[in-house]
Each structure stands twice: as structure tokens, then as C-alpha cells.
Amino acid sequence: MTLLNVAALAEKTGISVSTWNKRRLSGDTPAFLKVGRRVLYRWSDVEQWLDGKTKGSTSDA
């Protein structure tokens, strides 16, 4: 199991740390683990979440 902190997730996805933090507050992120003060993401959960974001057109909701 590969665990990523927010900085590593941002680097791997090209989405900024601040965007991940904002999305986490609104609930628009993959499942994450909270270990003490650390927020960690399983890469497999991130891949699954990204697959669910696939669209066929820019006009798709």
C-alpha cells in the first residue's frame, strides 16, 4: 500500500497542495486517513477517485 501526504499527492497529480486542502474541506477528494495531525491518501483510492472524474465532454456535469 502506497501512502502519500498532501505534498507528495500534489507533486504526483499536478494539483496544488492548497487545492487539495480546499477540496478536502468541501468533501471533494478521495478517501483519506487522518493519523494524528497528518493527512494521508492511499494511491489506490486516488486512482479510483480520478477514474470517477472521467468525462466525455467539457459540457458533462
- Does the residue 24 lie in any domain? yes
47: left (phi over 0), alpha (psi -120 to 50) or beta: alpha
Q: Would you call 61 helix, strand, or coil by DSSP?
A: coil
Question: Residue 58: inside a domain, yes or no?
Answer: no
Query: What is the number of domains present in the chain?
Result: 1
Which residues does 48 contact at the CB level (< 8 Å), separation at least 6?
30
Residue 57 located in a structural domain: no
Q: Looking at the domain assignment, is residue 30 inside a domain? A: yes
Q: Is residue 7 part of a domain?
A: yes
pLDDT tens string for the chain (61 positions)? 899 999 999 999 999 999 999 999 999 999 999 999 999 999 999 999 999 887 778 887 6
Q: Does 38 fall in a domain?
A: yes
Grid coordinates of 16: 496544488
Q: Could you tell me the residue range of the domain that residue 33 belongs to?
A: 3-52
Please provide the DSSP assignment of 1-60 as one string: --EEEHHHHHHHHS--HHHHHHHHHHT-S---EEETTEEEEEHHHHHHHHHHT--SSTT-
**Whole-structure pTM value:** 0.83
